[in-house]
Structure 1
């Protein structure tokens, strides 16, 4: 808790700054409507230290621990998703690869500019046809005898892509003879000839942190642009993604806390047919379950941070678990708060309503829940020993261990059909996440009544999912052609309703003025 932290610590100062900023200088509604951050936000946040959270002090950063960084992002998440994602992208996807993989000279030249807000940074990984599927990347780089590289390709959905001066670009590297050298990362200045910024995507939420298309046409970069080793881009990208996934969970947790806080206030003053809403048993139950989900995720990301701060290696499954359950349970708690607030929650001016739009993306960001669950489940099905080692390291109590054994039982019984295998892998991946969550919550159930309730709730969630997985009959999916024909039949019921009149704004330059 921040009350245990010295008031003069960098983290305490940043928390105090953010709370004062939220109260006196921030208007989230205007940010959302204008699709932009306040003009002073970058310089204000840089002055407060928020643009160099884990950058070493020798470069002007704050050198925060992982636990303290989680605390900062939980606070940011409670205030505004746009500010949280702005800081998250800059600090994790942008700064982390530079800190860990750039040459010392590049660090000395670039990091001071980034932590002081004179420039921003991001990573360009996703592409039009592949999302975050790194191995399907088509952006290419060619190595030249003089040590420089030429990059060609396109990236899509790049947060801060049009605003960041420095972009970590990931590409498939080949030498001049065409020999493949693997995915490689480069630090690129957006002033480099051939660097193109495409249109901004008009998103449902997170409107003040635009997503851009980027293009690279014969973009020549020097050898000093290399981040890490040639062919080492996957390691660099994964490290940035893993850290970013925990940050997303921390932000979603903060937003969920804020949403439940508002819902709880509402119940105290709202009268319904059964009496005060706060005394309604069903409302108490749904709020308690949402609160348990939040506390469970807090416990999970605290465990990951403690391992990282102790210098221990953290298996990637823990990061996937944080991303999946952190973002799913966080958004579920926001949805619960909106439901409890009823019509007031559905107002477009409602804080919870904006959280509902903004944090919906977190279930997709940096790998969708479905994609990661299938990947994680497939990994454990192929290598059951990996799941065993993961559990053995955590050392769960005997009651939890019995449930974990059942998770292994489900994983050991895959179907033959290819489509059903994907479904089965998703189930196993989800069960593995709930097993990890149950383990960490059971360890701290003694801390308070709410911790005890959370441990029981997490165990019950795992038990329910195990019952469904072990007892439910496997359903045969309709064939792809059959389902496509079914959906094509909708046209007979709803007709052709494609809207062909686009917004009537004329943005092109008049030919006579060119």
Structure 2
């Protein structure tokens, strides 16, 4: 990516009058609802594994591709509260559209807004807001998962101040479609001395930038995940995001914001799924009468509704603090990711169960939500990985848990539960495996603590808020009852369990399927260059 390619001053000047008009969040919601009713076919998106050709320009015109870009650069400058409203709406309509906008706005634009040089922002951000280009981040690699410090992609600083990038990235949303990719790599100076993880804004047209195969995923088929490769990709000094060696701070800021957005999308999908389940229950007659009046079905739907309301309250609280300029602890973002995605998908699963056979139809909206939103429990850090990380962090620094509690105003009853969580955290086992389990238990308890605190503060807003507060507190109490024995169970050794699984072959035999030749996926040899 050279500076001339970044600037494109003439193009931007000519396109200035075509920038999206500033739009309120309400205007965007109205646009999305009309778009869903009149122009969207989610089934075709899923089958064709692609977005409609006109979608990028349509969404750009509505302001959806520059949600938090400043208005002077063609964006909408939305608050966090309003952005969550938009993503909740997108989540209710189609996960593909939601993830497309989320990747572009949070993983793509956010690092540029935060860390790119001012002249680069001025050249790139208007293009992104106008839909002339898309953007994403490339962090994950084939072997590192959530362990970012194990990153193997390498950047070398050259004597002229430029940088050369080599390596591979995997599972990159929009990786094959984005013009600008925030690439994070281990930087080494001219002498080969390591300088830490560093971010670079890379133009995908730069020589050496390679796009690998698309992953054939279970859901979210219209927003493909790609492998990317970098072979001597040379970028100018202006491509640097932030300062050398400080790339994790830039990546972390984008991921933290993205985790709340994932929760907002999950809330929207869960609301839509429960809406359909309630409609079905009201119209379905069973042996005991109306399905909606069946006590067990009422309980399942009410609990799912409480879970959604609790997460909605949580992300609203986080967004309010962000809009007020308050510092928000990482634990709140982790909590939004863990419980937002777990409870959101759980509500979708409940809706599918209530719909019975109709829920299992792949043509059903709830069925597609079930496939699409399952990934959210893995996206941007799996529930297990983040729970262990959060629990470990707070076990080692118990004062941080106290600070978290002080950010809200828990009731006396909730404070008693919080004291019990602290006791569980202090009861750390000795062996490594038990410590991992203990950390996961503590991490989950901390999340439920935060959820219980925020729901207890709005208990008087409506009967459903009251039920939600009671349900959330009950969930926390249940987890506290099982917490102590959860981390002290005697696990089979790694070898013992591996031997046990190896014994399955005696029951099920060798059923590995022969991989058929893939010529149909490749260019005809007679049409290939010789």
Measured against the shorter chain, the TM-score band is over 0.9
How far is 1:503 from its partner? 6.5
**Structure 1 regions of 5+ residues with no counterpart?**
1-7
1:483 to 2:497 alignment: yes
**What do the CA deviations read for 1:196-231 (whole angstroms, capped 9, x no partner)?**
000000000000000000000111100000000111
Alignment correspondent of 2:389: 375
Alignment correspondent of 1:446: 460
How far is 1:274 from its partner? 1.1
91-100 vs 132-141, which deviates more?
132-141
Alignment correspondent of 1:84: 98
How far is 1:316 from its partner? 0.2
Alignment correspondent of 2:199: 185
Quick one: which of 282, 285, 292 aligns to 1:278? 292
**What do the CA deviations read for 1:403-432 (whole angstroms, capped 9, x no partner)?**
000000000001111011100100000000
Alignment correspondent of 1:138: 152
Quick one: which of 28, 43, 68 aligns to 2:57? 43
**What do the CA deviations read for 1:176-195 (whole angstroms, capped 9, x no partner)?**
11111110000000000110
Quick one: which of 306, 309, 312 aligns to 1:298? 312
Alignment correspondent of 1:4: none
Runs of 4+ in 1 over 4 A off after TM superposition: none
Residues in 1 aligned to 2:33 and 2:403: alpha-carbon distance in whole angstroms: 42
Quick one: which of 357, 362, 384 aligns to 1:348? 362
1:103 to 2:117 alignment: yes
Alignment correspondent of 2:127: 113
1:54-453 to structure 2, matched below 5 A, reads 54-453=68-467
* Contact 2:437–2:486 under 8 Å retained in 1: no
**Structure 2 regions of 5+ residues with no counterpart?**
1-21
Residues in 1 aligned to 2:514 and 2:23: alpha-carbon distance in whole angstroms: 57
* Contact 1:205–1:358 under 8 Å retained in 2: yes
How far is 1:510 from its partner? 3.5
How far is 1:504 from its partner? 5.8
Distance verdict in 2 for CA 1:172–1:82, change over 3 Å: same
User: Please, what TM-score do these two structures have when normalized by structure 1?
Assistant: 0.97
**What do the CA deviations read for 1:304-333 (whole angstroms, capped 9, x no partner)?**
000000001100000000000000000000
* Contact 1:125–1:132 under 8 Å retained in 2: no
325-334 vs 385-394, which deviates more?
385-394
SS of aligned partner of 2:448: helix
Residues in 1 aligned to 2:257 and 2:98: alpha-carbon distance in whole angstroms: 14
Alignment correspondent of 2:17: none
Residues in 2 aligned to 1:261 and 1:507: alpha-carbon distance in whole angstroms: 41
How far is 1:398 from its partner? 1.2
How far is 1:131 from its partner? 1.6
How far is 1:270 from its partner? 0.4
